[in-house]
Structure 1
Amino acid sequence: MLRHTIFAIATLFAAAPVYAQHSHDHAGHAPQTVLPTEPGQGAFAAIAEIVAMLRANPETDWSAVDIAALRRHLIDMDNLVTHAKVTTEDVPEGARFHVQTTGTGGAAVSRMVPAHAPVLRADTGWESQVLLNGDEIVWTVTSQTDAEVIRALGFFGLMAVGNHHQPHHLGMATGSMVH
């Protein structure tokens, strides 16, 4: 009998965190066993991640830290993704993007596309050429083997290619790298 009672109590305690995670208690009290993992809006989350890394590193040179520079870059990223005006044309072996340098997204386009184009080339081996043409940037990306991939990714997908973004953000925050 005692063994069954202990088993029942242990089972209840083991299930408590699962119940707490799925409970719909609207009384305004969050269970103590479950903590949110998302620190908020994307730019805030990126800054929070970098700040945590800097604080965890005893060798951080705090005199070089520039979180404001990272914030400006994250604003550029947001403006590029949400406000850039892009028209696309297929070209042999890839695509050409006409991206406006005016308006809300224009300044971000002017800073980010010329900086990203050579990084894309280094990461993929694709040809990546940027020309300034009046109020637009003309970015042509081509490959003898990956034209379909380039066209499918489009402008915004190509801007996201590569695993350099997170190290780039850490570099910006520590003052050791801009572009």
Structure 2
Amino acid sequence: MRLKIILAGTAVVAGSAIALAQTIHADHGGGMDHAAHGQDRPAESALLTEPGQGAFAALSEVVRVLEADPNTNWSRVDLAGLRAHLVDMDRLISDTVVTETELPNGLSVSATGDVETTATLRRMVPAHAAQLAKDDRWRVEALEIEGGMELRVTSEDPAVIARIKGFGFFGLMASQDHHREHHLMMARGEDAHAH
């Protein structure tokens, strides 16, 4: 008898909780009630550093920097241009088909893809090759090929050759930590390839 009372009481409490949850979130999925976010937690518990998807996070970070800078020239700000570049970055990583050929002194990469990816490669590879070429430990060439680009990176130094081969195409495209500065310049409407 006692067990039946406990089970009945548990069922009533659980049913009430489910009904209340459905009432509160009738129009949103779990966690989607933006008005209620943070109301039940102290501010110091907000430890997240990424506000969602990568491109959104990058734009959000740039917006914070622009808003904090009293010298921001809002008439020149170009977040749509930065967004287009972030889409290119995503397409380069996600959609590029790469064939890497190891050379005795480095690497030759054929990077191709569909029409949109080819356009992305033709915008990004030459610009990044110019950035890579600022490092005098290697030589960099970027050539248009059918359906994409060829990137050739070579060196005379065995340690640098090993580094080139270890990086491969995607590592080379991500190296030379200039991306944040480049993105902020784009957002400010400045010549991002002048640095």
Q: How far apart in 2 are the matches of 1:105 and 1:135? A: 9
CA pair 48-123 structure 1, distance change in 2 beyond 3 A: farther
Q: Where does 1:109-148 land on structure 2 (aligned, <5 Å)?
A: 109-123=121-135, 125-145=137-157, 146-148=160-162
CA pair 169-93 structure 1, distance change in 2 beyond 3 A: same
Q: How far apart in 1 are the matches of 2:137 and 2:73? A: 35
Question: Does the Cα contact within 8 Å between 2:76 and 2:189 map onto a contact in 1?
Answer: yes
Structure 1 counterpart of 2:121, one-letter code: V
1:105 counterpart SS class? helix
Q: Normalised by the size of structure 2, how large is the TM-score?
A: 0.73
Structure 2 counterpart of 1:117, one-letter code: A
CA pair 62-127 structure 1, distance change in 2 beyond 3 A: same
- Cα deviation, residue 121, structure 1: 1.3
Q: How far apart in 1 are the matches of 2:142 and 2:54? A: 28
The aligned residue for residue 19 of structure 1 is none
Q: How far apart in 1 are the matches of 2:145 and 2:97? A: 15
Question: Does the Cα contact within 8 Å between 2:95 and 2:113 map onto a contact in 1?
Answer: no
- Cα deviation, residue 30, structure 1: 5.5
The aligned residue for residue 34 of structure 1 is 45
Q: How far apart in 1 are the matches of 2:102 and 2:56? A: 36
The aligned residue for residue 88 of structure 1 is 100
The aligned residue for residue 151 of structure 1 is 165
Q: How far apart in 2 are the matches of 1:101 and 1:120? A: 22
Q: How far apart in 1 are the matches of 2:148 and 2:118? A: 8
Q: How far apart in 2 are the matches of 1:154 and 1:178? A: 25
1:123 counterpart SS class? coil
The aligned residue for residue 99 of structure 1 is 111
Q: Over aligned residue pairs, what C-alpha RMSD do you find?
A: 1.9
- Cα deviation, residue 135, structure 1: 2.2
Per-residue displacement from partner, 1:97-128 (whole Å, max 9, x unpaired)?
01115344222111100110010110353100
Q: In the alignment, is residue 173 of structure 1 matched against residue 184 of structure 2?
A: no
Structure 1 alignment gaps of length 5 or more:
1-27
Question: Does the Cα contact within 8 Å between 1:101 and 1:136 map onto a contact in 2?
Answer: yes
Structure 2 alignment gaps of length 5 or more:
1-36
Question: Does the Cα contact within 8 Å between 1:96 and 1:141 map onto a contact in 2?
Answer: yes
Larger Rg: 2
Structure 1 consecutive aligned stretches of length 4 or more whose deviation exceeds 4 Å: none
The number of equivalent residue pairs is: 153
1:177 counterpart SS class? coil
Q: How far apart in 2 are the matches of 1:30 and 1:174? A: 37
- Cα deviation, residue 83, structure 1: 0.5
The aligned residue for residue 49 of structure 1 is 61
Q: How far apart in 1 are the matches of 2:154 and 2:97? A: 21
